[in-house]
Amino acid sequence: MHKTIRIRNLDCAACAAELQEELAAADGLSEVSVDFVTQRIALEYEGEEALKGAIHTISHFEKVEIVDGSAPVRREMYLKELISIAVSALLFIPALVLHILGQYEWVAFGLFLGAFAAAGWTVVVNVVQNICRVFTERRFSALLDENLLMLVAAVGAFCIRQDMEGAVVMLLYQIGEYLQALAVGSSRGAITRLMQLKPDTAIRIRDGVQEEIDPEDLAAGDVILLRKGDKLPADCRLLSEAAELDTKSMTGESYLRTVRTGEEMLAGCVNEGAAVHAEVVRPASESAVAKILELVENSAAKKAKPEQFITKFARYYTPAVVLVAVLIAIVPPLFQNYDFATWIVPALNFLVISCPCALIISVPLTYFSGVGTLARYGVLTKGAVHLDALASVSCAAFDKTGTLTQGKFTVGQVVGDGRALQLAAALEGASSHPLAQAFASVEAPAPEEVREITGRGLEGKVGGKQVLVGSERLLAERGVSFPRLQTDALCVYVAEEGVYVGCVTIEDALRPEAQAALTGLRRAGIGHIAVLTGDTEARAEAALSSLPVDEICAELLPQDKPVCAERLKANGTLLYVGDGVNDTPVMAVSDVSVAMGGLGSDAAIEASDFVLATDSLSALPKAVKGARKTRKIVIENIVFSIAVKLALMALSLCGLLPLSVAVLGDTGVMLLAVLNSMRMRAKIK
């Protein structure tokens, strides 16, 4: 069983890794993911006892609190930290002046010590608490974190009478922690803004009476009133003549969309026109907004490989750093007349510079920002791991019907006996195939014994007579003689008692954004675009002639599509976009899969890695660009952080780096990495 737990007060990325390690080691728990940025814990548990144990571990871990799902996200003000920094700075400045003038050294020492205490008291408290946990809980890993590194560096500086460096270490560290908290808090605010997509109330109309209710209480079939400025509380079908919707919250683009009677409207959009009435088509819990919130909140559970690496890296890195620093302080003096004083500063510098905060904060922050940015465009990501896969895509394959086309079938012309339309409608009325939509408004007799013939059509009885409805292949296999219609339209052939009756043509227009979307994928670096369809090659080529498609794989049965997808993977990492139940086997073999969220089947959405909540293909190029930008920023942060730290370490070992500059360098690297991560939140062009 799966559970996502909201928490707060988990303000340390290293602590998140430690908590995840504790939960993963507990009995009955698996696939544990603790996310420092989103303040959420995702886990699989085997029973209620295992879940109770997990809740006990979480609630007793440092200051972590479990937040009820209905509780609002609290905005952190960090006032206490700001006051500590201000007091420390006020004490540090006159101490620095006295130190430069070389006067009143003991007064300067007292002021430096006061500056250290004002900025570092929380660090001292954390280290003391960690020491207590080592003795009470036997958790030795709890001691080795960035608090210990900074405290040792600062106290060591005071011990060798580098008073200014001792104070500045703690002051700069706390300034860096404060700025980091602001940056991460800003990213956490993205969740709060997403939650604003969901309105607090809805106005339901029953027996002519208006009542204000919670959107969660809406059911399919309820009639609601949407006033000007109201957010849609659920996915609805318009009952009034027309409505003007602002879709920015769902698509990322601010423009008004005109909706006509009978058309669907997605939850989260805003009614910018006159008041209208609408009918709820699905509960609020199944709406597009609900999908966005659920997927974005749970996306942190599936971490990308760089995230997994950094988590494991940090677990062993800090103890190794402490050991190396001790060796630097002890080993060289043994060969230099026991001159320990000379090597203490490089050892302390090494401790400060080695702090892994830049990596363990910026990498998950970048992925979270990437997931949130794609959500603004209506692209829902099921995990950061899929962002990495999407960034590598070089080949794309599409289902035709309902994906590149609108999937809204209508009857064209009837060729032959006019009874063909009624007979086709009778059998199609018992089918869940998308083609059956075309016959929904046709009055037809009730069928009997309807059976679907996969990839070919239907057979059944109408008025006691055996009827076949389907493709040319079906009639040919049953030995029915019929004239082949010379047309590019989709044809549904009808036979009764083995005799050809007639043919019904079906029309399905391309999506208006299909051409721009495929062209955008080309520009985003997709080198090969293919279409997989069960339609004939001639009809598929005629329907897709205006699109930049390299290859059309036609006349495919459902079992043929995965085989074709495997072949296409020879062109590189494969992206597949589909909308139906028949697409799920292809999605399973593809490297990356995308489902249409509105028209798409539940099975396709479940099997996919990404979901287009608005059913608009125009978001696909932005998704690819966003994924590649995310990976680029992650690589930049990893390379930059490691390169700068190695350079600072080399300078420190050569005796060319004061302790204060080491702290400033470490803090600067962390801040630059975090700020670089926040570039991911910018608009994708």
Q: What's the burial of 49, exposed, middle or buried (CB within 10 Å: 0-12/13-18/19+)? A: exposed
Task: List active site positions.
Answer: 399
DSSP E strands in 92-208: the ranges are 202-206
Find, among 188, 142, 146, 135, the residue nearest to 170 by Cα: 146
**Could you tell me how many residues make up the chain?**
685
Say if CB 615 and CB 434 are below 8 A apart: no
DSSP-derived letter for residue 488 is S
Two structure tokens written together for 35? 């996310």
Residue 5: strand pairing partners: 41
Q: How many CB atoms lie within 10 A of CB 68?
A: 7
What's the gap between Cα 19 and its chain centre? 22
Q: How many CB atoms lie within 10 A of CB 290?
A: 22
Gyration radius of the chain's alpha carbons: 32
DSSP 464-526: TEEEEEE-HHHHHHTT---PPP--SSEEEEEEETTEEEEEEEEE-PBPTTHHHHHHHHHHTT-
Q: How many CB atoms lie within 10 A of CB 440?
A: 12
Two structure tokens written together for 126? 């954390």
Two structure tokens written together for 117? 């205490």
What's the gap between Cα 215 and its chain centre? 25
User: CA dist 200 to 196, 212, 246, 268, 584, Å?
Assistant: 9, 10, 18, 11, 36
DSSP 294-321: HHHHHGGGS--HHHHHHHHHHHHHHHHH
Find, among 615, 614, 628, 631, the residue nearest to 685 by Cα: 628
Residue 68: CB partners within 8 Å, gap ≥ 6? 6
Torsion of CA 488, 402, 517, 253, to 10 degrees: 140
Residue 226: strand pairing partners: 276
Two structure tokens written together for 557? 């049965």
Say if CB 273 and CB 244 are below 8 A apart: yes
> For residue 339, what is the enclosing H or E element?
none
Residue 40: strand pairing partners: 6, 35
Residue whose entry in the numeric block shows the structure tokens 């016959």: 439
